[in-house]
Structure 1
Amino acid sequence: MISSARPSARRTAALLRAGVAALLLTATGCAGGAGDGSAAGDATSITALDYYTDASEHAQWGALLTACGKTAGVRVEHTSVPGASLVPTVLRQASSRTLPDLLMLDNPDLQQIAQTGALTPLDRYGIDSGGFAQGILSAGTYQGKVYGLAPNVSTVALFYNKDMLTEAGVTVPRTWDELKAAAAELTRPGRHGMAVDANATFEGAWQFLPFLWSNGGDERRLDTPQAAQALQLWVDLVKSGSMSKSVLNWTQADVHDQFAAGRTAMMINGPWRIPALNQDKNLRWGVAPVPVPRIGQTPVTPLGGEVWTVPQSASEARQEKAAQVLACLNDSAHMLTVAEQHFTVPSRSTVAARYAERVPSMAAFVRSVRAARARTSELGVRWPKAATGIYTAIQSALTGEQTPEEALEHAQRMATGS
């Protein structure tokens, strides 16, 4: 399961600023990790750091890094740390001059790290970034330069129980009005029609973004009619009983469990849930794009996924080798391998199209990725403040403490510090 598909809490900008001096020291100090390369010599090994701590996931990425290392003529020493520890670990390594040669980051973290000067732009190494959707490239871009590339990405879509929809005579909803009607028709004693993750974390904000963005809302200005209409939709679903009030506390894993147990007929979730759904042979399910305000619109969903970067170091030889490994990870064949292993979407559009034909359950995600946006595309390093405002507004509106308009006005003040 791809870790960043479950958006982890962003580390604070203050912590990152505290490490800036150390990071800059790294650029002029000795490069860390194994290997005897120098600025003028050859590198025989490089280090790589990520947050793929799940045993099978770590092994799969380790095998891929080893294969790409052989292609580049180096041994790759692969280390993983828990997701919440990655950025603090990077800062500690910077202060001790042991920054890895190849670094994976959750894509919303890239801008904050690139801002410190810790990363090198990939055009320095002639890495091919052609064929990537614009939203995917923007996730790895800071101030106009590409610092990271994601071999694979993810987003969210609408999962539905085929048997429940057939029994109720309900078609798969395409619009918000259809969603409300379908959810009401599908609601029964012991079962809700719809489920989302509306908890007070970045996951809750992540799940709300398709509704905000598809309605023309913008995280740069949260106190708009478009944003209020999107939040009102969620309020209406809860008030009508079509969605459980417990969504205020559910994680995406909880939403999945409700769906798998037959306690909800539809849910918003990501492709990382597909392996578990496939294990239940009695569960007949399908996937469709997230419903949009009006027929004919394309949903705008958030982009999940990890980018690989080349940190600054004193060893040009190791930087070059790390860049070669990064390029290998992002070639078409390896994109397809990773996608099939983890139910993610290959980042190159032509590869993604072939993948959708081979894995039909991923087709809705492939279509959605074409218009998906990076969470940092508008606000950059200021995104975490906006996300906090969004999930706080969701909590206030769904509990009835404030109207959507009042909750989002407060969210805007939180985001701007006013």
Structure 2
Amino acid sequence: MARWKLGIAAAMVGVMGAVAGCSGDSGSSGESTLDVWFNDPGTELQPVIQKVMTDFETAHTGVKINLRFVGGADTHQQYLTAVAGGAPPCVAQLGNTWTPEFSSMGALAEADLKLDEAKQRFVGSMVDSATMDGKVYGYPYNVGNRAFVYRKDLLEKSGVQVPKTWEEVATAAKKLNEDNKGEGIAGFGIMGGEIWQYVPLVWNWGGDIAVKEGDSYKATMNTPEAKAAFDWYAKLLTTDKLSPPDAANWVAADGTKAFALGKVAMGIYASFQLKSMLAQSPDLKEKVGVVELPTGPGGNNDTFAGGSNLVVFNDCKDQENARALVRHMAEPANVTGYTRGIGMLPASLAGIQEEQTSGSFADPLFKPFGDQAKHTRYVPADPSWGKVEGSGALVNAMQALMGGKSDLNSTMDKLNTEITEAFGK
């Protein structure tokens, strides 16, 4: 009988090599052990992942899985340390913004999935996150994206139609702001500290974050399109005053809490955030509506796709069974138990269709998130993107505009330089 062993990642990085050293080990008994690292979904969902592993073991005699749930601020460093020590796990659920970094350093094995097939089976932006130089280095696993969430009752009361463009959003929000001033309800939920609220607007205005030149990326955040997008968002606060002044510092948790408390009329929220808001305030369910994001002057409503990929590390000694496990984990039936629990979607197109037809996204409130997933993009697939995001340059630029600390041209020129320099490191 196949066996599995569960380990919660509580060990210090210094002893990690000893724990992961048996990754993909084929012992003298003929048994193979596959170390698997999975982002800790919490105690309620751990058994769901455990069952997926147990089912694989049952179907693959002689294979046992050492499942380890990882998490915390040092998770990225744990992976780096394991790779440097030649002892990473065989299989891992790796964040999509980390996948280019680890593939570029040669740590990941090429997936048994060709690019054309991947594009046919999975959300395109998630495939982009796992692709380097035309080769795919992971199976897209789950995807999370934002959509437009609004209070139906407040829009009806003010005689406002659901906005279809960002300019209509600004007009509608001003009306809602004025009509609900006495109740302290903001017309639009602004989050100056949350880059995924406004960076995708650059695409909506017809621009790009960066373009590839040769082997590296060059930032394009000082183009007219990027400037107009950032300027428009900043003025929602500075000129139109559609949220409280401290919204310049709001992050996702602040914006989510404000909507849940009934203090925001419209905003950009992810499916898992909506799930959280409804859990906090169940009475909102009958008052809330969701549609795809509005379209910008560039003629699109694309937004960022977050999520994760299932990858195999090159140092794994049992590549055959590791690849088989990834294929098993990526089957829609083995993904949805996890994604339903966290309020996200499977990254496979078949999985999304199933969820929208008979799963948790069949609810009219959540179905638009599945539609929006097909209109998503990935950030520049450069291994240094983590440095760009971690530097705070994007947030600093928006908050400088909202605080009146510098003019638009200077702010965006500085941001452009900082991003290009990060790519060059």
Q: Which range, TM-score by smaller chain?
A: 0.7 to 0.9
Cα deviation code 1:211-269 (max 9, x no counterpart)? 11111121110001111111122122102111222222222111110001011111212
- What is aligned with 2:104? 115
Alignment of structure 1 residues 69-108 onto 2, 5 Å? 69-73=57-61, 74-108=63-97
Aligned-pair RMSD on alpha carbons?
2.8
After superposition, the Cα gap between the structure-2 partners of 1:227 and 1:46, relative to the gap in structure 1 and judged at 3 Å, is same
SS of 2:127's equivalent in the other structure is helix
2:23–2:316: 8 Å Cα contact kept in structure 1? no
SS of 2:380's equivalent in the other structure is coil
Match of 1:178 among 168, 173, 185: 168
In the alignment, structure 1 residue 197 sits paired with structure 2 residue 197: no
Match of 1:46 among 34, 38, 41: 34
> Following the alignment from structure 2 to structure 1, what is the Cα–Cα distance between the partners of residues 159 and 38?
46
In the alignment, structure 1 residue 293 sits paired with structure 2 residue 292: no
- What is aligned with 1:210? 200
1:390–1:408: 8 Å Cα contact kept in structure 2? no
After superposition, the Cα gap between the structure-2 partners of 1:104 and 1:319, relative to the gap in structure 1 and judged at 3 Å, is same
After superposition, the Cα gap between the structure-2 partners of 1:151 and 1:385, relative to the gap in structure 1 and judged at 3 Å, is closer
Q: Which runs of 5+ in 1 are unaligned?
A: 1-25
In the alignment, structure 1 residue 151 sits paired with structure 2 residue 141: yes
> Following the alignment from structure 2 to structure 1, what is the Cα–Cα distance between the partners of residues 116 and 23?
24
- What is aligned with 1:373? 377
Deviation at 1:341, TM superposition (A): 2.7
SS of 1:217's equivalent in the other structure is coil
- What is aligned with 2:267? 267
Deviation at 1:385, TM superposition (A): 4.9
* One-letter amino acid of the counterpart of residue 323, structure 1: R
* One-letter amino acid of the counterpart of residue 234, structure 1: Y
- What is aligned with 2:384? 382
> Following the alignment from structure 1 to structure 2, what is the Cα–Cα distance between the partners of residues 184 and 127?
45
Alignment of structure 1 residues 121-132 onto 2, 5 Å? 121-123=110-112, 129=118, 130-132=120-122
After superposition, the Cα gap between the structure-2 partners of 1:394 and 1:127, relative to the gap in structure 1 and judged at 3 Å, is closer
In the alignment, structure 1 residue 219 sits paired with structure 2 residue 209: yes
* One-letter amino acid of the counterpart of residue 191, structure 1: I
1:389–1:412: 8 Å Cα contact kept in structure 2? no
Deviation at 1:125, TM superposition (A): 11
2:23–2:90: 8 Å Cα contact kept in structure 1? no
Deviation at 1:194, TM superposition (A): 0.8
SS of 2:365's equivalent in the other structure is helix
1:168–1:186: 8 Å Cα contact kept in structure 2? yes
After superposition, the Cα gap between the structure-2 partners of 1:314 and 1:67, relative to the gap in structure 1 and judged at 3 Å, is closer
After superposition, the Cα gap between the structure-2 partners of 1:285 and 1:323, relative to the gap in structure 1 and judged at 3 Å, is same
Deviation at 1:300, TM superposition (A): 0.9
SS of 1:122's equivalent in the other structure is coil
> Following the alignment from structure 2 to structure 1, what is the Cα–Cα distance between the partners of residues 167 and 19?
60
Match of 1:162 among 136, 152, 168: 152
TM-score when normalising by structure 1: 0.83
Deviates more, 1:41-50 or 1:239-248: 41-50
* One-letter amino acid of the counterpart of residue 141, structure 1: T
- What is aligned with 1:22? none
In the alignment, structure 1 residue 329 sits paired with structure 2 residue 332: no
Alignment of structure 1 residues 300-315 onto 2, 5 Å? 300-313=302-315, 315=317
Deviation at 1:98, TM superposition (A): 3.0
> Following the alignment from structure 1 to structure 2, what is the Cα–Cα distance between the partners of residues 389 and 263?
29
> Following the alignment from structure 2 to structure 1, what is the Cα–Cα distance between the partners of residues 110 and 70?
24
Cα deviation code 1:162-216 (max 9, x no counterpart)? 22212222121111121011111111241111113321xxxx2222122111111
> Following the alignment from structure 1 to structure 2, what is the Cα–Cα distance between the partners of residues 178 and 124?
42
